[in-house]
Each structure stands twice: as structure tokens, then as C-alpha cells.
A and B are shown apart, each in its own frame.
Chain A
């Protein structure tokens, strides 16, 4: 099934764009913008708006149509948790019934990342947007180590508290600094022979499950993730792992 963007008629391929060009805002600049959008593959290009940003920089709002399409039936993009999601109560019931002990989860912003909004949304008692965080789960022992935690220290801490899962939040992704840091974490875990000991997940506004798996993590959580998503994944993983050992 081929699909393309929808404006007001199926398959019209309408797209809105806005961007800056490093040229003055004048007739020539607008024509440059139009041609540029055409080169991006759009037709029926309309430069709806332009204004000067600074000496030698101009801003454009453009509309265009595209003939490009994707085959929706061939798309593979699995969420870490799939369709099923346990509520806080369900999670706690499953842990109590199937494991008979608390699940220990350690979380942190690692490397130089100082932005704790993500890990706080998942872990803090209050949670985010009316979804309670893991600290609220009676059957979860949650340790939020906060910001700028070195990878080594996070691993040491996870060993100390016998963690089941480690959550890493990365918000700063400028110049791919998060990739280096996450790769270092996995390598460190592997070199210490601990990779199989923990469920390791990453999260952040620019993180996807696909990226996480590529980097060697068990799961990745992006926009719109709440504690329920993380808890569901961790619990299911533990149960599967336990089943294997039994």
C-alpha cells in the first residue's frame, strides 16, 4: 500500500517546510528558495512567506507537493513494548505473583548530560502527565542517580544494589555525543562480562528502539514514553529470562 502526505486530497503529497538560507532576503533569495525546494523533490512549489533574519540570512515558509511515497505494508518499526501495556497495579501484581521479590531498577543521565527531565519523568514518584513514576510502584525498588553519572559509576552502583535493569537517559544529542557515550557504556559492560546480567534500556526524546538495538541495548524509548512502557518491558524481559533458567 503506497502512501504519501495528505493535504486535503488523498495522495496530493502536500508538505509544508520552513528553513533559512544564508543569503539576503530579496527576489533572488526567494527564487533560490523555490529552486532549492524543487531540488528537494517537490513540485508546485509556493514560497508563502519570506523575511530577513539578519545581514545575509533569510527565512522561508514553503509549500510543495511530492510524488514520493512509501509502501506502508513493508514498514517495520517495532516498539519495545508492542501492543500490551501493564498498568502500575498490573505490574505490581505480576511482580508479586510471578517473581515474589521486588524488581530493582537503577536509572541515570550519564556522561556529561545534565538534563534529568526524561529520567525524572520515568522514575520520580510523581511521574509525568498523570502517569506515576517507578518510585511509586510498591514492587519496584527504584534508584534515580540523577545527572552526569559516569558510566563506570552507574555499573558499580547497579552491581551494589543487585539491579535487574539499568535505565539510561540521554537528552543532549548534539554532534552525536550520546552515541559515543552509549557505546562506551555497552563496551564497558561487555569488557566486565556483565552484559547478560542486566536488562539495559535507553531513553530520550531523540532515542528510538531501533537505535537502541543497533547500539547493543535491549530496548529504547522515545517521545511519549511513560513509566508503564518501561515497567512492562522490564517485567516481560525478566519473566522470559527466568523462564529460561527454570
Chain B
């Protein structure tokens, strides 16, 4: 229901500005690949495993081909499959043992094409099966999930301990389990292999960890007749690879922002822009819901003053997502309840921001993040803050609700912290379930005026980005007050300009299946 009377023409203008802002970036993206895009493509053609030092096979292959990457890595991997007559598993084992696939002379191009078509079809079929399985289960367990989806994090560092925590949370009512990554992983330029039991502040994202957790959550789903979504992080230097692994193991959501890595992890902007496109194409095809990271802006900037940067970023994330073939229903655009609790009427401003996002992005399963910056260690006040957050989320019909923990700012959640958070959310959201439908806002009141003001500031901000250029703006600190020069940051050496002979049958097939994204 539309309560704010936001001018349609202004919203349309913001979307047009987003198209203009993104255009030059998309041109850049289309002309480039990265080591991570090539590794992700290899994974979707069967490359997997690691050598005795733990170096993953996709990294070994890309390293072998580092002076030929402008043509793409897949030609050589497919060629090696043809030359050896091995299955991908067999070839991976030999590569891990030191086989140099770059030494094989290229086969007949037609034979390479045919083999590529066969391999591509095989792996994309697996992803399609995953997608269908999810859709079937969601249909079978219809109306069993909460609305918004209740999302909790597990972060023990040990995948087997994570499973205990995740099962407990799911049994207590969580709809979404995110396995937070170890604090170092976003800056690794490879994805570790196998099950892992040691991480700091989180657990390594590996394909095996994905698989183990998926099995555990499927068991709970069946037992409780409620589909439990599994979430991980397609972000950092391995953004597209993690998307590929998540697609193969039927993850349901991925943190996947177009600019987060640049701003908050100091990853090079060219690298991130190219990586996010391919990772989002994979997510789009896999039916994975992305979660964007606008909430992070508000942990460094002021939530009242910088509300317009959140909305602008949501418009940009939406545009980047559309360019990659994601449907609006897969766009968990992010925002957060991060205003200073001492502000008089701060609650009204939070409500305004959440309602505005709801009305501007009516189909998006908005990802609403809890208070973190102003959580103090006073767990009792923390519960009160989280209660207000729960109220706003239900009232404004958010899509994905990340539960606030009373022990935020103290430690990663204990089992009871999650249970108490779930109890709080279930209580609030049940007790006031339809309140939002009962209430309309005063036409010239604080809430309506605030949203019109933020939208108009957003337009001014986006006009200035369109004039200056997105990359230039990021160099000048337009988002989150963080400045990122374009030729600095991690991962720049992994950027490769595509040659005329660039060949990537996975990307090509994804484009076709996504309708020419």
C-alpha cells in the first residue's frame, strides 16, 4: 500500500539517472575479465580440488595461463579434457599433480566448441536442478516461513559447530542461516578447499562447507516442514567463484554488492566492477537472492545525514543487478536501523526510511539490518533497541530481517542470544501483524516530509554522480566518506583486458539463458 505519495516522476528520474551513471562502467566491464571471473568459469566447467599445498586447481590453471588470459582460460581447460580424454575430476587430479595444460596444442576449434557445449550444459543443468528443487520445496512448504524472513548468523569458525548452532536456530524459528566468513577471507585471492574447522570471527567459505551445511539444513527443513535458506558471501576477491560454488551447492542467498568491496575492503574498483557482474549473472541463473550492503555506509557515516546515499546506492545496485539479469524479486536491497537512539523522533525517521525503500522497490525482498553502531554492551537496552527495529521491519513489510543480537558489540552470538532475538521478533511481529495496514500517515507530518526530502536529496546526489562519473565520485569519497583511487586497492593485478579472441562459453551460455543480459 502506498502511503507516502512519493512523486512517480522523481522515482523514474532516479532510475534514468542510474542508467546513465552505470553506462560507462558497464562499457568498461564488458571489455575486461579477471582472474576471479576465469576461475569461476573454470569451476563451472568442472575445475575443482587442490594440490598437496592446498593451492586450488582453478588457481593453478589460471597461473599456468597468466600470459594468455586475454583469450580466456576455458579454451585451454576444455582442450586439455579433449587431449587427455579424461573427465574433469580425472583432469583436476592430474593438474594437482603438476600437469601443464598450457603445453597441449589446441585441438580443432569445432571439437573444442562441441566439448564446451557438452560440459556447459552438464554444469548448468546441475544448477538448474538446484533451482527447481528450491522452487519445489518453497511451494511444498508454502506460507511456513515468516514474513519478513528471520535471518541469523552463525560464526563459530568450525563448520561442524556451525551446524549445531544453525540447527538450533532453525528449530527456534530462523528462516535464513548465514555462515559468516572468517575475517580474512575477503582478501584471499583463492577459495580454500575442503571442510574447515578453524576461522576467526567466522568460518571459511569452501564448497565442501557449503555442501555440509546444506545437507544439515535440508534435514531441518524436512523435519520442520519449513524451507531453511542458506546464505554466504559472494564478495571480496573471489566474488564470482563463491557465486559459482553457491550455485552448485544450492545456496539461496548471497551477500553480493556492486561497490562494497571497493569501499570497505579496499579492493580495486575495476576488479570489483568486473567481478560483480559475472557473480550476479551466476546468482541470477541460480535463482539466488542477493543481499546488497548499503547498511555498511551507515556504520561509518551518519544515518540521518547520509540517508540519501543509501537510497542512491540502492538505485545503483538495482541497475547493476538488472544489467546482470537478476529479477527484482532476487534483489535484497540493503538498509539499516542505525540512527543514534538519542535523537528525538529518531524512530519516525527510521520508519520513514524503511517505508520509503518499500514503496520505491515494491518487488524487492528488502534486506533490513539491525542496530550495531549504537549497541553498547548494555544488553538490556539492546533488547529495547532491537524491539523497535523489529517493529519497523514488520510495519513496513521488509523482506529479509537480520535479527539484532542483544550481545552485539560484545561477542559473536551465543546460542541463547539467537533464541532470545527470535523470541522477540516472533512476539513483536505476531502481536502487531497487521498494524501497518491499519495506519496511514499524516499528509504533512514528519514521516512523509522526511521521505520526500530524502528522495529529493537523492536526486541531487545522483545528478552530481552522473555529471562527475561514478568512478570519479568514488575517488572523491562520495560514498561512506571513503576515498578509493581507481588505480589503487587490492586485486588490480588480476584485471585483464579481453582480447579479440576472448572465449568464454559459460558466460555466453549464461547470457543466452538470462535473455541477453
Contact = CB atoms under 8 A, between A and B. Distances in A.
A174 B266 contact: no
Interface stretch (B5-13, B164-172, B209-217): B164-172
B201 interface: yes
Interface string B347-374: 0000000000000000000000000110
B238 to A, nearest CB: 16
A59 B265 contact: no
A21 B360 CA distance: 46
A205 interface: yes
Contact of A126 (B302, B415, B416): B302
A129 B414 contact: no
A183 interface: no
Contact of A20 (B201, B342, B416): B416
B157 A174 contact: yes
Given A54-B171, A114-B265, A20 B415 contact: yes
Given A148-B265, A174-B200, A205-B377, A20 B414 contact: yes
Contacts of B301: 126
Count class of interface residues, chain B: 35 or more
B91 interface: no
Interface string B177-202: 00000111011000000000000110
Given A112-B200, A114-B265, A53 B172 contact: yes
Q: Which of A55, A148, A223 has its CB near the most chain B CB atoms (within 10 A)?
A: A148
Contacts, number: 77
Contacts of B184: 112, 148
Nearest to B185: A112
B300 A120 contact: yes
Contact of A147 (B167, B169, B182, B265): B265
User: Which secondary structure dominates where chain B touches chain A?
Assistant: loop
A242 B84 CA distance: 73
B410 interface: yes
A53 B419 contact: yes
B168 A112 contact: no
Contacts of A126: 301-302
B416 A59 contact: yes
A177 B373 contact: no
A175 B200 contact: yes
Contacts of A146: 266, 482
B192 to A, nearest CB: 14
Contact of B300 (A116, A129, A172): A116
A91 interface: no
Q: Which of A53, A117, A124, A125 has its CB near the most chain B CB atoms (within 10 A)?
A: A53
Contacts of B186: 114
A57 B200 contact: no
B187 A148 contact: yes
Nearest to A174: B201
Given A54-B169, A126-B302, 19 more contacts: A20-B414, A20-B415, A20-B416, A53-B168, A53-B415, A53-B416, A54-B171, A54-B415, A57-B415, A112-B182, A114-B264, A120-B299, A124-B300, A125-B481, A146-B266, A148-B187, A148-B266, A205-B377, A223-B377
Interface of B: 157, 167-169, 171-172, 182-184, 186-187, 200-201, 264-266, 299-302, 340, 342, 372-373, 376-377, 409-412, 414-416, 419-420, 481-482
22 contacts: A18-B416, A53-B172, A54-B167, A54-B171, A54-B172, A57-B168, A57-B415, A112-B184, A113-B183, A114-B183, A114-B265, A126-B301, A146-B482, A147-B266, A148-B266, A172-B183, A172-B200, A174-B412, A175-B157, A205-B377, A205-B409, A205-B410
